[in-house]
């Protein structure tokens, strides 16, 4: 490892330093504003360093990490979404009396874990990244010790995540026993025929269990609604977007080759994708809790993303990247609205909290409606372009059954999004005065997200160009 290698790691190093600084900062002076400032400065520095590093890539730093344009693209997405979550948290946690500074510490650590995941090309770094992420998330989910639901969610997440990590570890061991290598490239041995499939395939299946758990795809989805519901809204946003983005980026690196070369792996993911699309959309139909609806909807959305993953082409990789951006922007917007409307006692999760919101808070409600329509994939929103891209890559690869399932289930999905939209616009029985003020930080973030949501939905060319440039570096 030489100086240039070290420089290439700059974004990750800066994230790690931010974590240390935030911790020291809290030790010296407990101040919400100061902690938030430190966090945002660190995230911004790390984000900017991506541009500096972009000229050095691709560069393999030790056996563990590969910094290339692909990794940098996802790093950028992760850090940006983490920063958005930090700002949203400041309003959300500012309402509470308890100490909230440690949340930012955990947030930065979790972001670091995500960063390690998207750059890793080796089982060791994979596991390290995943554990840094998971352990920080336990704390974030159960951050409110006083709220029963939060504790329940935290413990549920702790137990299930540890179990899935065990599965993952066992799977990685099997693959290692078979191929004698801990690099991701060992999976490519599937095609050559020199590997012992009796060990390799179960190994892959077990690692898929671990990855599937983090993505919350069926049949590993059971934790999703409870954790989304129980966790503080900005933390739910982080779990739904940042952590899942990192895992998808890792999945593409790890198994893209596998789906092309092995029918069994393809079939495994096809079943997971179909089951996620169906279950996610169907189970959301009868929910009255907005956070649970968003949880089920995210299950379905990762089904859609897996369709792009299965299409396995340069176009599909681009489609997945675009979809992840679209999904991140949209879901952050939706959860942002939820956290802005939440009170210090409880999150604004019940559908009734949103009745007639448009006539009380027209701007917030319009933004929320735009986010829901984006999730439903209606044109002029970024979600539409994402869905279009996924469908196009699927049509290109001629995976017609998957596309058909995608279309039919997304019509089912439309139903529950419309239900929320109707509630937003329905008339109030009695006029209520709303007390939740929109702080300028949240307003800035939500405004920016809403702008992206519409702008990239109407004119996606800049993002498409960026993604094209990113993928051209991936081989």
Partner 1 sequence: MILILLIGILLLGGILAAISGRWSSNLPRWISLAAIAVDLVLSGRIWAARSLSASNAWYHEVDWNWVPNFGIHFHLAVDGLSFLMLILTFFLGIVAVLCSWTEIRDKIGFFHFNLMWVLAGIVSVFLAMDLFLFYFAWELMLVPMYFLIVIWGHERRVYAGTKFFLFTQCSGLLMLIAILALYFLHHQATGVYTFEYSELLGTTLSRGAELAIMLGFFVAFAVKLPVVPLHTWLPDAHTEAPTAGSVILAGLLLKTGGYGLLRFVIPLFPHAAHEFTAVALALAVIGIIYGAVMAYSQTDLKRLVAYTSVSHLGFVLLGIFSWNPLALQGAIMTMICHGLSTGALFVLVGGLQERMHTRDLDRMGGLWTVMPRLSASALFFCLASLGLPGLGDFVGEFLVLLGSYKVSVALTLFATFGILASTFYALRMMQRAFFGPNTNSWRLPDVTPREGLIITAMVLGLLWLGFHPQPVLNTFAPAMHNLQHEVQMRAAAPGSQP
- Please report how close the Cβ of residue 468 comes to partner 1 at its closest, in angstroms: 7
- Please report how close the Cβ of residue 359 comes to partner 1 at its closest, in angstroms: 8
Q: Which residue has the tokens 């750059």?
A: 119
Which member of 392, 438, 443, 454 binds partner 1 (CB under 8 A)? 392
Piece in contact with partner 1 (CB under 8 A), picked from 52-60, 133-141, 294-302, 416-424: 416-424
d(C-alpha 217, C-alpha 388), whole Å? 21
Piece in contact with partner 1 (CB under 8 A), picked from 20-28, 300-308, 339-347, 404-412: 404-412
Q: Report phi then psi at 161, rounded to 5.
A: -65, -40
Which member of 249, 373, 375, 449 binds partner 1 (CB under 8 A)? 373
Piece in contact with partner 1 (CB under 8 A), picked from 177-185, 259-267, 378-386, 434-442: 378-386
Does residue number 388 form part of the binding site for partner 1 (CB under 8 A)? Answer: yes
Piece in contact with partner 1 (CB under 8 A), picked from 15-23, 107-115, 179-187, 392-400: 392-400
Piece in contact with partner 1 (CB under 8 A), picked from 137-145, 185-193, 238-246, 373-381: 373-381
d(C-alpha 277, C-alpha 410), whole Å? 8
Nearer to partner 1, 455 or 459 (CB): 459
Does residue number 346 form part of the binding site for partner 1 (CB under 8 A)? Answer: no
Does residue number 425 form part of the binding site for partner 1 (CB under 8 A)? Answer: yes
- Please report how close the Cβ of residue 464 comes to partner 1 at its closest, in angstroms: 4
CA distances (Å), origin 84, targets 142, 182, 242, 416, 417: 20, 35, 10, 26, 24
Which member of 408, 428, 451, 469 binds partner 1 (CB under 8 A)? 408
Site map 435..474 versus partner 1, x via CB under 8 A: ------------------------xxx--xx--x------
Is the Cβ–Cβ distance between 110 and 136 less than 8 Å? yes
Nearer to partner 1, 262 or 393 (CB): 393
Which member of 37, 359, 454, 473 binds partner 1 (CB under 8 A)? 359
- Please report how close the Cβ of residue 362 comes to partner 1 at its closest, in angstroms: 8
Residues that bind partner 1 (CB under 8 A): 359, 373, 378-380, 384, 388, 391-392, 395-396, 403-404, 407-408, 410-411, 414-415, 418-419, 422, 425-426, 459-461, 464-465, 468
């Amino acid at each position: 490892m030489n100086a240039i290698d070290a420089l290439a790691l700059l974004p990750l190093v800066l994230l790690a330093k931010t974590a240390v600084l935030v911790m020291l900062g809290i030790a010296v002076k407990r101040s919400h504003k100061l902690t938030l400032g430190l966090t945002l400065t660190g995230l911004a520095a790390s984000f900017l360093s991506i541009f500096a590093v972009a000229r050095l890539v691709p560069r393999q730093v030790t056996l563990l990490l590969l910094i290339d344009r692909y990794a940098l693209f996802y790093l950028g997405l992760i850090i940006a979404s983490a920063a958005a979550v930090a700002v949203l948290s400041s309003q959300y946690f500012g309402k509470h009396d308890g100490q909230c500074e440690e949340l930012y510490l955990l947030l930065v650590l979790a972001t670091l874990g995500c960063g390690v995941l998207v750059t890793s090309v080796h089982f060791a770094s994979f596991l390290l990244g995943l554990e840094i992420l998971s352990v920080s998330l336990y704390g974030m989910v159960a951050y409110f010790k006083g709220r029963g639901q939060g504790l329940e969610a935290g413990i549920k997440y702790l137990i299930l995540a540890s179990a899935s990590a065990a599965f993952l570890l066992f799977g990685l061991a099997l693959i290692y026993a078979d191929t004698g290598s801990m690099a991701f490239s060992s999976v490519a041995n599937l095609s050559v025929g020199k590997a012992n499939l009796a060990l390799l395939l179960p190994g892959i299946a077990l690692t898929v269990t671990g990855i599937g758990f983090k993505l919350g795809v069926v049949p590993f989805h059971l934790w999703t609604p409870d954790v989304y519901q129980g966790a503080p809204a900005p933390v739910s946003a982080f779990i739904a977007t940042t952590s899942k983005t990192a895992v998808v980026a890792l999945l593409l690196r790890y198994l893209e080759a596998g789906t092309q070369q092995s029918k069994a792996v393809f079939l495994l993911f096809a079943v997971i994708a179909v089951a996620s699309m169906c279950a996610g959309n169907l189970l959301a139909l009868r929910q009255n809790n907005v956070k649970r609806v968003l949880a089920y909807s995210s299950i379905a959305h990762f089904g859609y993303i897996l369709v792009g993953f299965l299409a396995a082409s340069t176009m599909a990789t681009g489609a997945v990247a675009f979809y992840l951006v679209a999904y991140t922007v949209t879901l952050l917007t939706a959860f942002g609205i939820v956290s802005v409307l939440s009170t210090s006692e409880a999150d604004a999760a019940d559908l009734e909290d949103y009745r007639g919101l448009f006539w009380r808070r027209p701007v917030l409600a319009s933004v929320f409606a735009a986010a829901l329509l984006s999730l439903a994939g209606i044109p002029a929103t970024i979600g539409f372009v994402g869905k279009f891209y996924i469908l196009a890559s699927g049509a290109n690869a001629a995976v017609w059954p998957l596309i058909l399932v995608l279309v039919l289930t997304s019509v089912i999905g439309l139903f529950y999004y419309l239900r929320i939209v109707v509630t937003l616009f329905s008339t109030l029985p009695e006029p209520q005065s709303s007390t939740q003020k929109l702080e300028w930080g949240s307003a800035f973030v939500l405004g920016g997200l809403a702008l992206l949501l519409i702008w990239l939905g109407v004119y996606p060319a800049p993002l498409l160009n960026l993604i094209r440039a990113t993928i051209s570096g991936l081989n």
